[in-house]
Amino acid sequence: MRFIKPDINIDFIGKRNIAFLISGLLILISLASLAIHKGPRYGIDFSGGTLIQVKFLSDVKISDIKTGLGQLNFGAASVQTFGEHGTHEYLIRTDIPKETGDNFTEKLRKMLFDATGKEVEIRRVEMVGPQVGKDLQEKALLAIYYCLLLIAIYISGRFEFKWMVSGVMAATLMGLVYFLSLFNVSTAILISVALLITIVLFWFLKLPYAMGAIVAIVHDVAITVGLFSLFDKEFTLPIIAALLTIIGYSLNDTIIVFDRIRENQKKLSRLSYESMINKSINETLSRTVLTSGTTLVVVGALFFLGGDIIHDFAFAIIAGIAVGTYSSIYVASPMLLVFANREKS
């Protein structure tokens, strides 16, 4: 099925400097937002604390709910409405982990009933200790970084036939990161430095396809996380799952374009390298638009109809697909041209 005419010829590569400028601006905004907010707004998965979802039979005052929570020594708990209007559901958050034994739910229900005078149903109670939350943060960052290194091995082996070089490099970096993580080095800083070193190594080892793919993926993840910071959305374990999904989706899109570029290098050797890359992008454009469009329809349905529980996950996927499609065309492919120009000079 072709959605776009096969003879289309849009000058994507010719606009690469504008695209680089837009990407740089978006990443700067993302980093600025993260710096201002001191990182993403972590949910209890990462920060530790207690999360409670309650449902009343009729409307109640949030101040009354807080009064009931005060009797259980919850400290400064935040209470907000949850779900659709008129469902009388509330989400209670506190950074104090509470032991949730057998009697906890019944005590909480009684305290809330005494404070509000309304029957209440305790629908969900989640508790995460601060040390567990910190461990989850570190493991999530390491999982994303290790995923990127394994992707680099695959791309280098498939397109540049440098399995050994990329494998040794990735194994060394994995070992170094793991070793330094044992000495209480900040995991966020450690991964940031490791990513920078990885990209520099790609440059000096002449691995253009691997570098193009990794730069595009880092671009997608950075902007998606930045959007969460800008819109003050919670960063939880399901969002890590969404980021790993985005990495896979973006990589798949990039590989399709890279495959066509490799094929056209032999078939269209008379064309300049810039024209050949541009033609390859145009030839895969129909597939890219169709795949992204149909996926966005499904994820859009989850975003608008799936309810609050899955809302942020769907938002992350929508943002990642949009940015990932853009980066496959305007970031990953032009990186090959940057390498080619470097070789000429």
Provide the CATH number for the domain around residue 302. Answer: 1.20.1640.10
User: Does 188 lie in the same domain as 119?
Assistant: no
User: Does 298 lie in the same domain as 270?
Assistant: yes
User: Does 80 lie in the same domain as 32?
Assistant: no
80: its two tokens? 């907000």
Residue 9 confidence class, pLDDT cut points 50, 70, 90: confident
User: Does 91 lie in the same domain as 236?
Assistant: no
User: Does 162 lie in the same domain as 241?
Assistant: yes
Least confident of 98-102, 165-169, 177-181, 294-298: 98-102
Does residue 8 belong to any structural domain of this protein? no
Q: Supply the DSSP string of 224-289, one letter for each residue.
A: HHHHHHHTT-EE-HHHHHHHHHHHHHHHHHHHHHHHHHHHHHHHTTTS-HHHHHHHHHHHTHHHHH
User: Does 322 lie in the same domain as 190?
Assistant: yes
Q: Is the dihedral of CA 317, 319, 320, 321 positive or negative?
A: positive
Predicted TM-score (pTM) of this structure: 0.85
Residue 149: exposure state from Cβ atoms within 10 A (0-12, 13-18, ≥19): buried
Per-residue confidence (pLDDT) for residue 132, from 0 to 100: 65
Show which of 128, 150, 185 is a domain's final residue: 128
Does residue 337 belong to any structural domain of this protein? yes
CB atoms near residue 172 (< 10 Å): 12
User: Does 27 lie in the same domain as 143?
Assistant: yes
Q: Which domain holds residue 339?
A: 13-43+132-344
Does residue 257 belong to any structural domain of this protein? yes
Per-residue confidence (pLDDT) for residue 2, from 0 to 100: 59
Per-residue confidence (pLDDT) for residue 29, from 0 to 100: 95
User: Does 216 lie in the same domain as 73?
Assistant: no
The mean pLDDT of 291-315, rounded to a whole number, is 88
Rounded to whole angstroms, how far apart are CA atoms 13 and 11? 6
User: Does 157 lie in the same domain as 118?
Assistant: no
Show which of 96, 128, 160 is a domain's final residue: 128
Asked if 154 contacts 255 with a C-beta cutoff of 8 angstroms, the reply is no
Mean pLDDT of the chain: 86
* H-run or E-run covering 53: strand 49-56
Does residue 232 belong to any structural domain of this protein? yes
Rounded to whole angstroms, how far apart are CA atoms 127 and 48? 7
Per-residue pLDDT tens digits for 112-163 = 888 888 888 888 888 776 666 778 888 888 888 888 889 889 998 888 888 9
Q: Is the predicted pLDDT of residue 224 greater than 80, yes or no?
A: yes
Q: What percent of the chain has pLDDT over 70?
A: 94
Per-residue confidence (pLDDT) for residue 229, from 0 to 100: 93
User: Does 206 lie in the same domain as 69?
Assistant: no
Number of domains in the chain: 2
3-class SS of residue 321 = helix
Beta bridge partners of 121: 55
Q: Is the predicted pLDDT of residue 97 greater than 80, yes or no?
A: no
Per-residue pLDDT tens digits for 22-80 = 999 999 999 999 999 888 888 877 877 788 889 998 888 888 888 888 777 776 678 88
User: Does 226 lie in the same domain as 165?
Assistant: yes
Q: Is the predicted pLDDT of residue 287 greater than 80, yes or no?
A: yes
Q: What percent of the chain has pLDDT over 90?
A: 28
Does residue 2 belong to any structural domain of this protein? no
Higher pLDDT, 164 or 82: 164
Does residue 4 belong to any structural domain of this protein? no
Instruction: Name the amino acid, one letter, at 312.
Output: D
